[in-house]
Amino acid sequence: MNQNTNKTVLILGANSDVAKHCILQYVEKGFTIIAASRNTESLKEFVQVNNLNSTVTVFYFDSADFDSHEKFYSQLPTKPHIVVYAAGFLVYNEKALIDFKGTQQMMLVNYMGAVSILNIIATDTSNKNLERIIGLSSLSGVRGRKSNFVYGSTKAAFTTYLAGLRQELTSRNIKVNVLVSGYINTKINAGLDLNKNLLMEPDYVAKHIVSAGNSFTIVPNFKWKIIYLILKILPESLVAKLP
């Protein structure tokens, strides 16, 4: 019998390409999944097609509807052992600079919604199951660059929040990880002219999430690790010359 048979993973924003591959890989490892998203129809279809009805339960969750978060969490059939926050929203910088509604939605989904629900989960000391929280961030949040600094700022804020949450939960032996990814071949990036040598597949990224260890920052792919390290140490005068 798989050692994870009685453990539950809560995936928030479970309709993303990476999240769906996380579902498949967690199920393969013997976990039970609570998959939460606004688009429950798409998730239910995914569950049906992959014959996951016995291991995956679909719930409606809107990361931007803060008032619903307490009720959502209280109604979960099982309190989770692992939580993955995979919800995300992207508006390209040119539009974000002139359309605050799009910018606001990025803030709500990428940062504020994450803080709202994860605070509820993290402060529930009655949940003795909780072992790990994983948040999906982005390389865009490492340094402010003129091509994507509005979106990047929401990811930077989320990464900083997770770093503090990790310290907060250390005494309860709960791990917190942040996945800092580069380009992923997903629907959110469809149509963009991206360097194919740097493009990662969703199942590859999911594998790094599902196998998360003790290190706080997870950067999939050695090429992106190098880029991540360069971005961290690059002088501001050179960062300003980047696209």
Give the tens place of pLDDT for each residue, 92-110: 889 999 999 999 999 999 9
Report pLDDT for 158.
97
Widest Cα–Cα separation across the chain = 56
Residue closest to 62 by CA, chosen among 41, 87, 82, 80: 87
Does 34 fall in a domain? yes
Structural domains of the chain, count: 1
Cα–Cα distances in angstroms (integers) from residue 30 to residues 2, 23, 27, 215, in the given order? 6, 11, 5, 23
Contact between residue 218 and residue 208 where contact means Cβ atoms under 8 Å apart: yes
Does 88 fall in a domain? yes
This prediction's pTM:
0.92
d(CA 181, CA 225): 9
pLDDT band at 1 (very low <50, low <70, confident <90, very high): very low
User: For the purposes of burial, counting CB atoms within 10 Å of the CB of 80, is it exposed (0-12), middle (13-18) or buried (19 or more)?
Assistant: buried
* pLDDT single digits (tens) 149-187: 999 999 999 999 999 999 999 999 999 999 998 878 776
d(CA 240, CA 231): 11
Residue 62 has pLDDT above 60, yes or no: yes
Does 2 fall in a domain? no
For residue 154, what are the domain limits? 8-239
Does 64 fall in a domain? yes
Span 52-64, average pLDDT:
96
Does 1 fall in a domain? no
d(CA 162, CA 171): 15
Report pLDDT for 184.
85
d(CA 145, CA 140): 8
Does 171 fall in a domain? yes
pLDDT band at 4 (very low <50, low <70, confident <90, very high): low
d(CA 198, CA 180): 14
| Torsion 155-157-161-164 (CA) sign | positive
pLDDT band at 190 (very low <50, low <70, confident <90, very high): low
Mean of per-residue pLDDT scores for the chain: 91
Radius of gyration, CA atoms only, the chain: 18
Check which CATH number belongs to the domain holding 83 and give it.
Answer: 3.40.50.720
